[in-house]
Chain A
Amino acid sequence: MDSIPSPSPPHPAGRSTEFFHGARDTLPLLLGAAPFGLIFGALASASPLGVAGALPMSALVFAGSAQFIALSLLGSGASVLVVVFTTLVVNLRHLLYAASLQPQMARLPQRWRVLLAFWLTDETFATVHHRYTRDDDAPFKHWYTAGSGAAMYLNWLGWTAAGAWLGAASPALTHLGLEFALVATFVGIVAPLLRERPGMAVALTAAAVALAGRDLPYKLGLMLAACAGVAVGVWMDGRRRPAPVGETR
């Protein structure tokens, strides 16, 4: 046994090791995203987007839930602006992730920030966030993030392509109720969040406003519902823990 403690950690992981570990640690989430990508591809092939549009959308947008919502909006004949604005609202949650990872990005060159921002998803954030909370001075952590992002990206593209091919080969598949997969996914994401305090009030408000405003043009009902839900959440936070003035994080 070596008796002399080394001044720095013996082997700070190299670039390729970090990259590989990032991809490896994302593996369970890749499996979770697979059916999602498959279903997106299949639904897209039966939508106005078509087989030809499925892969470009996955390659350029790379945001699963927004892509699903875009499909249902396009199916109901929504305009370009409505789809883009809805995407904006649905993806706002990524601001939270970006804010949380920001300190790690400040020391990287811009090209790295661009790449890692493009690959920032719910899954990669979950993986990377975990990694960043332990040993803080590893020099090539951004390679870990890149490994996770690259794995998610290739996984998403692959399953989108497979789904589009499957949907085109047997169009009957999409009439088998795949459209319910979106609902099942969203319910699965939201239900556990309702246990935390204002979650239920936020959800009930959003649901009530969405139902009341469902016939408004331009999907305004959805926008109003999202805003009302968030407003109620903020109001309840304020009542529960009054005046977070001067609070430092």
Chain B
Amino acid sequence: MNWSLWAVIAGMAAVTFAIRYTLFGLGGRLRFAPRVQQALRHVPVAVLTAIVVPMVLLPDGRHWDLSWRNPWLAGALASAALALGTRKLLAAIAGGMAVYLLWRFGLGLR
């Protein structure tokens, strides 16, 4: 491992701890306005969607693949359906993986 990977770990550790600790450390001296709390509530959906959608729709990073033969798309749709249907994260992960692997290796699509 070179220095830049250690820098990545150190930097990630620092920002993560800072986010988790700042409010604890200050005790009650800093509070968020309700509006800021409301805004923070949208962060997970916005960030996770922004990460996932390009990976699913452009599996090779360059070309759109909106066909049913796209294992990333099929797996993601299966995960979404299972998450909504069962409300169990583990089921969504396992089922999505199964569909992805079936598409990719079982059907030999890619």
Across the interface, which residues of B come within 8 angstroms of A177, CB to CB?
A: 71, 97, 100-101, 104-105
Q: For the complex, is B4 an interface residue (Cβ under 8 Å from A)? A: yes
Partner of B42 from the list A90, A99, A105, A198 (CB cut-off 8 Å) is A198
Dominant SS at the B interface? Answer: helix
Q: B75-110 CB contact bits vs A (8 Å, 1 = yes)?
A: 110011011100101101100110011001100000
A98–B48 Cα distance when bound, in Å, is 20
Least Cβ–Cβ distance between A51 and chain B, in angstroms: 10
Across the interface, which residues of A come within 8 angstroms of B4, CB to CB?
A: 80
Least Cβ–Cβ distance between A189 and chain B, in angstroms: 6
Q: A169-190 CB contact bits vs B (8 Å, 1 = yes)?
A: 0000000110011011111111
- Residues of B in contact (CB 8 Å), total 70
Tell me whether A211 and B57 are in contact in the complex, defined as CB-CB below 8 angstroms, given that A98-B20, A117-B21 are known contacts.
yes
Across the interface, which residues of B come within 8 angstroms of A113, CB to CB?
A: 21, 24-25
Dominant SS at the A interface? Answer: helix
Quick check: A229 and B101 within 8 Å, CB to CB?
no
9 CB < 8 A contacts A-B: A31-B90, A53-B1, A63-B12, A89-B47, A180-B75, A181-B93, A187-B80, A191-B83, A193-B44
Chain A residues near B (Cβ < 8 Å) = 31-32, 35, 48-50, 52-53, 56-57, 60-63, 65-67, 69-70, 74, 76, 80-81, 83-84, 87-99, 101-103, 105-106, 110, 113-114, 116-118, 120, 176-177, 180-181, 183-195, 198-199, 202-203, 205-207, 209-211, 214, 221-222, 225-230, 233-234, 237, 244, 247, 249
Chain B residues near A (Cβ < 8 Å) = 1, 4-5, 7-17, 19-25, 27-28, 31-32, 34-35, 37-58, 61, 71-72, 75-76, 79-80, 82-84, 87, 89-90, 92-93, 96-97, 100-101, 104-105
